[in-house]
Amino acid sequence: MSTLQRIVRPVGIILAVIGVVLILGFVEHAADGTLIQDVRIHVKGDAGIHFMDERSVRAEIMDQGPAILGSPVAEVDMPSIENRLRALPAVSNAEVYHTMDGTMHVKVEQRVPIVRVFNSDGSSFYIDKDGWTMPLSEAYTARVLVVTGDLHEPGARDGVIQVFSSDSLQSHFLSDDIHRLANFISNEPLWDALIDQVVVNHDGQFELIPKVGAQRILIGDGSLLDQRFAKLALFYKKGIPMADWRRYERIDLRFADQIVCTKRTMP
């Protein structure tokens, strides 16, 4: 390679980089002057989840702050709109951006509740699949597993908080265990179809109430769920067919390698 070539090549690269920067700057400047002509909203969530819809999202972003339609892109604070949407209790994530045709795109992902918790004082809240609490909504009621009993959980008063926490105060509550149990049930079609209520007794033990059979199924503190539900599945497959559903009042799965059943007192 000649001396001239060694000099020309770096200069050419530098000029090319400068050209790209200038073009990008021109495009960005032109985009900043583009007027917002349309707002397209996409609301994502599992089937049947309707805490938010296109109309409610549109109202949230169009009814607050300066007008968006007709404004130059540079004058629309899209990060602020994202933050406002993410602050909504029913929203897990939001993304706002624009394209060169003057369209502002708004993508909102809803939280997906898997359990509703009722405290002893009557207050209530949801926990979503990712372990965040959610206040109730006037617009929509989710049909999910219900947990009642001797509960005093903070989700009803503290809004959106994460149930997995190293905070020593959180260790006194059961929301973490409730979420683990609800997540296990919701991910298994058999248990999701069979169990719609859980009661927490005075000892902090979970009791399942199935839709059929009228038994109380004691599973303990929410640990060893795989083993305990495997025993329950075996009992339903082997034991129940040989006896009337109404025969048992209580099924206790807490003990290793055994199922303890209490017969119902017949009138």
In a domain, 29, yes or no: no
CATH of residue 258's domain is 3.40.50
Same domain, 81 and 205: no
In a domain, 147, yes or no: yes
Q: How confident is the model at residue 247, as a pLDDT?
A: 75
pLDDT digits (tens, 9 = 90+) for 204-214: 899 999 987 77
Q: How confident is the model at residue 136, as a pLDDT?
A: 93
What count of other Cβ atoms lies within 10 Å of the Cβ of residue 115?
A: 23
Crossing angle between the packed helical segments 175-186 and 225-234, to the nearest 10 degrees: 40
In the block, tokens 């006896």 appear at: 243
Same domain, 124 and 243: yes
- Over residues 184-194, mean pLDDT: 94
Q: How confident is the model at residue 33, as a pLDDT?
A: 72
Crossing angle between the packed helical segments 54-62 and 78-86, to the nearest 10 degrees: 130
Structure tokens at 91: 């929203």
Give residue 224's region: left, alpha or beta (phi > 0; psi -120 to 50).
Answer: left
Check whether 235 has a pLDDT greater than 90: no
Q: Strand (E) positions, the chain?
A: 38-44, 91-98, 103-110, 113-118, 124-128, 133-134, 145-149, 195-200, 206-210, 216-220, 248-252, 260-263
Q: How confident is the model at residue 130, as a pLDDT?
A: 94
Q: Among 141, 171, 137, which Cα is nearest to 154's?
A: 171
pLDDT digits (tens, 9 = 90+) for 114-164: 999 999 999 999 999 999 999 999 889 999 999 999 999 988 887 788 888
Residues 6+ apart with CB under 8 A from 3: none
Contact 36, 97 (CB under 8 A): no
Chosen domain end from 77, 110, 143: 110
Mean pLDDT of the chain: 84
- Over residues 203-231, mean pLDDT: 90
Domain that holds residue 102: 38-110
Measured CA to CA, the distance from residue 74 to residue 66 in angstroms comes to: 13
In a domain, 14, yes or no: no
